[in-house]
Amino acid sequence: MSAAPAAFTALFQPYTLRSVTIPNRVWMAPMCQYSAEASGPYAGVALDWHFAHYAARATGGTGLIIQEVTAVSPEGRITPYDLGIWNDTQVEALRRITAFVKSQGAVPGIQIGHAGRKASTDRPWKGGGPVGPEAHGWQTVAPSAVPFDEGHPVPHELTAERIREITGQFAAAAGRAAAAGYEVLEIHGAHGYLIGEFLSPHSNKRTDSYGGSFENRTRFALEVVDAVRAAWPEELPLLFRISATDWLEEGGWTADDTVRLAGLLQEHGVDVLDVSTGGLAPHVKIPAGPGYQVPFAARVKAETTLPVSVVGLITEPEQAEKILANGEADAVVLGRELLRDPYWARRAAAELGAEVRMPDPYHRAW
């Protein structure tokens, strides 16, 4: 029996943002691989592992491949083993990935970011704790001299001059991403990294124009968006990933703040808000469960005109389809489930009676 047309599903409807049409609403979340060289002339350069990792999801039918957070500077990496996009050697290696992703009918995207006070740590399977110069580590920076957790170093508080410099690094990274062939760009403003550290009063204790009020705490995020939007081609879409809540009982970033910021981001040229939660403060109780972040995305969608994507324990095709059919989000973003099953989109299409592009050499298998 032949599959029903994709028109009968929400999950496999194309989605157009500016000049880019994404073939379906199954998007891959940016997930660090911690697999690049840590130092030397090839630090931060994509290797064969990265190519194979992203190529598998592209052949698996995923519509948009958002590459792991790629650092705008050496000091912006979460670990010394993260990908970077601060030099042209890195750009050359990334072109191989984008070319293959496009050849499979998927759209190549990239997330750029700066880890702030959560930088200079070891790989998770090595414990993930802070590392010093003897292990390729460095001095961290943040909006305020407030460490992430006990045992973490006190970050240097950024001066206004350094804030402007980092904003420029984001813009330069956006230009290199375009040169590398990416068609979607995402700014990482979530999970307690630098932009999120500015947003939350829990980590931002500044008394200048970058701290205190909502307007001041969101200033850096909007300045980065403006700088990136100016460097990123007008015809290509820009996403912003947000932690919709810090999950703190008081003194943190809230869902109300997220809705308020969403409207401002749209005014500044953001095309989709990619909704996640948490990551700013350690030891926070998060009520994780299937689709637990969907209500935050649904609220932004209901109260603003900014399109939203959502991530977080979305594992089953019917679950993903329901989120979209109910109008709670415009796309679903899969993380760990795509690590477990690179061909999740093909399985979902089969279960929902839709179709996704099949690589010619694989036709005999379906």
Give me the active site residues, please: 193
In sequence order, which residues have a C-beta less than 8 Å from that of residue 52 and are 6 or more positions away?
none
In sequence order, which residues have a C-beta less than 8 Å from that of residue 322 and are 6 or more positions away?
none
Cα separation, 320 vs 354, in Å, equals 14
In this structure, the dihedral spanned by the alpha carbons of residues 302, 303, 305 and 306, taken in order and rounded to 10 degrees, is -90
Encoded tokens for 265: 């981001």
Query: Bridge-partner residues for 334, per DSSP?
Result: 28
Q: Which of 41, 49, 111 is nearest to 76 (CA)?
A: 111
Which residue's entry shows tokens 């496009």?
Answer: 102
Long-range contacts, 37-40 (Cβ 8 Å, 24+): 37/81, 38/80, 38/81, 38/136, 39/80, 39/136
In 53-65, which positions are buried (b, 16+ CB within 10 angstroms) versus exposed (e)? bbbebbbbbbbbb
Which residue's entry shows tokens 């953001």?
Answer: 270
